[in-house]
Amino acid sequence: MDRTVLLGNEAVARGIAESGCRVAAGYPGTPSTEILEAVSRSAPGIAAQWSPNEKVALEVAYGACIAGARAVTVMKHVGLNVAADPLFTFAYAGVNAGLVIVDADDPGQWSSQNEQDNRHYARHAKVPMLEPASPEEARCFVKRAFELSEEHDCPVIVRLTTRIAHSRALVGSAPREDPAPRPFPRDPRKYVMIPAHGRERHSVLEKTMERLREVSDTTDLNRLELASTRRGIICDAVAYQYVRETCPEDSILKIGMVWPLPDALIRRLAEHVAELAVVEELDPFIEEHVRALGIAVALGKDRLPRCGELNADLVDAALNGRAPARVHPEPPFALPPRLPELCGGCPYAMVFAALRELDLNVFGDIGCYTLGALEPHGAMHTQASMGASVGMHLGAEKADAGQARRSVAVIGDSTFIHSGITGLIDLVYNQGTGTVIVLDNRTTAMTGHQDHPGTGRTLRGEPTACLDLAAVARAVGVRRVRVIDPVAEEGLQQMIAEEVAAPEPSVIIVTRPCLLLNKT
């Protein structure tokens, strides 16, 4: 087989194309963003799109699978939170053509607001989850996921992490499949989840999970590598590579299907060895399941960290007592930190300078502009999730009316479209009087300058309808809507001061294209 060096995300895109998938929808989010970009570039026959947010993206993909075509949705870990509502009920209804959800987690929070462990979603929503341990496995596991989805009538999640998604390795290829389209199902008992139907479908789902538990025990996605009888290690995803490097003599159970877990294989390993270890990143997801089977775990999260990503050094230290030695001396001088910062000349810097000058409390949001919280800008005081800035700003005013005159919400254009509009509706509907500043740089910048519904171009660069953010604000009922280009026009700070002082809702759209557009 001809192999090429591919990024993990590119390997996923190849697997998507080789599966005969016809629809792919997602929202940009590190470390998942390159998947949809690669699909768009290399598989022009696939309808690939950025949706406004991950919930819509999953719904688009599900609608495609219902209409008879294999479909995929792609997102980062916190994106699955946004898509979780439909996920739970899609699990009850099942699919028509296969549906795969690719979820890219971020242990170590290289670029995320948390490092939640999305394996819990598989257990909670009752869907199978696969975890590739390399880019080549990522390509293959996507295809296996589609097969499982159709064979067992369920959505399937493929979970990546940064060290798979953003690693490069040799990846093979296979001919593209061409699954026959399926007819649209007229079956409301299966697909319309009123309570009466839902109760039936829940029982069906429980039976599906029982079948999948048996699949987990016999599938080659999980692999028992029996060797030493001294110690056995259960490990999944990239942790398997760290174990392979540091514990070459131990027996290993490599988990590729992490939900349902292969109970029989776990028992076989436990019987073969004197002591059992579990090596997994983040939460003791596998470890707690093993203990619940009544099997003792001699080494797990008591020695391995729950926070941050794992690596071979940590595994070697925990399992073999070997600590990495400092080979070269520490420098005799301090190393000033070099953190990411707003590009020199970024127009957002002017907004933060004005906010700081006006000494306002700033409810912030997610994007390049989050860097405004750091020096030398120092003008953002909260940030937690997409769109939170607007609702939080309203909530503060409800607790203390004076906050509306002392604070603002700051949100980017893509973020506003993703989850800020509903917050603005709340602000107007529930009689807030605050000020929302939309930072409109005409792109989704932090993730690499993707288009969104407000840029007038699709993922493929085709011209399309362009959401008019000022019109949206007016349609929501905001009367004070102001638009300013802070580089071409004066008076930004004065404008902010006026709008904050005004005892009715205001939206200021600060619009200037990102400096880096048209440079890549």
Partner 1 sequence: MPTNVVFAGVGGQGVLLSCRLLLQAAQDEGHDVKGSEVHGMAQRGGSVDGHVRFGHDVASPVIRAGSASYLVCFELLEAARALPCLAAGGTLLCAEIRIDPAPVAAGEADYPGEVAAWLSGAVEHALILDARTALRESGIPLRCVNVFMLGALSAHLDFAESTWERAMRALVKPRHIEPNLQAFALGRDAAVREIAQHARSGG
**Shortest approach of partner 1 to residue 33 CB, angstroms?**
8
Nearer Cβ to partner 1 (4/114):
4
Residue 108 sits at φ, ψ, to 5 deg, of 95, -10
Q: Spell out a b/e string for 335-371, using b for 16 or more CB atoms within 10 Å of the CB, else e.
A: eeeeeeebeeebbbbbbbbbbbebebbbbbbbbbbbb
> Is residue 345 left, alpha or beta, with left meaning phi > 0 and alpha meaning psi from -120 to 50?
left
Closer CB to partner 1, 340 or 477, in the complex: 340
518 Rama sector, left if φ>0, alpha if ψ -120 to 50, beta otherwise: left
Q: Which is nearer to partner 1, 313 or 468 (CB)?
A: 313
| CB of 245 vs partner 1, minimal distance in Å | 5
Cis peptide bond N-terminal to 260, omega within 30: yes
Least distance (Å) between residue 335 CB and partner 1: 5
Closer of 375 and 490 to partner 1 (Cβ): 375
Nearest residue (CB) to partner 1, 186 versus 338: 338
Could you please report the per-residue DSSP string of 111-124? Answer: SSS----THHHHHH
Burial of 502 (0-12, 13-18, 19+ CB in 10 A): middle
- Please report the DSSP string for 405-425 in residue order: GTEEEEEEHHHIIIIIHHHHH
Instruction: Please say which residue, 160 or 507, places its beta carbon nearer to partner 1.
Output: 160
Q: Which of residues 78 and 368 has its CB atom nearest to partner 1 in the complex?
A: 368
Nearer to partner 1 by Cβ, of 312 and 373: the residue is: 312
CA atoms within 13 A on the CB side of 217: 12
Residue 330 or 490: which CB sits closer to partner 1?
A: 330
Distance CA(90)–CA(194), nearest Å, equals 13
CB of 107 to partner 1, least distance (A): 12
Q: How far is CA 443 from CA 75, 163, 345, 380, in A?
A: 18, 27, 17, 21
| Residue (of 144, 124, 145, 126) closest to 73 by Cα position | 145
CB of 122 to partner 1, least distance (A): 24
Q: Compute the distance between CA of residue 42 and CA of residue 103 in angstroms, rounded to an integer.
A: 21
Of 126 and 512, the one with the shorter C-beta distance to partner 1 is 512
CB of 299 to partner 1, least distance (A): 20
Show the tokens assigned to 167: 């690693």
Q: How far is the CB of 164 from partner 1 (least distance, A)?
A: 8
CB nearer partner 1, residue 185 or residue 448:
448
Residues that bind partner 1 (CB under 8 A): 3-5, 30-31, 110-111, 134, 162-163, 166-170, 238, 241-242, 244-245, 311-313, 316, 324-329, 331-343, 368, 371, 375-376, 446-448, 516
- Minimum distance between the CB of residue 208 and partner 1, rounded to whole angstroms? 34
Encoded tokens for 310: 């794992």
Judged by CB, which is closer to partner 1: 122, or 133? 133
- Closest approach, Cβ 445 to partner 1, in A, equals 9
394 contacts: CB under 8 Å, gap ≥ 6: 423, 426, 427, 430, 432, 434
Residues in the chain: 520
The Cα–Cα gap between 349 and 175 comes to 50
Q: Which is nearer to partner 1, 170 or 373 (CB)?
A: 170
> Considering the complex, what minimum distance in angstroms separates the CB of residue 371 from partner 1?
7
Closest distance between partner 1 and the C-beta of residue 376, in Å? Answer: 6
The answer to whether 486 touches 513, Cβ cutoff 8 Å, is: no
Minimum gap (Å) between residue 450 Cβ and partner 1: 13
Give the nearest distance from C-beta 37 to partner 1 in angstroms: 12
Q: How far apart are CA 471 and CA 339, in angstroms?
A: 37
d(CA 512, CA 485): 6
The kind and range of the H/E element at 437 are: strand 435-440
Give me the amino acid identity at 245: E
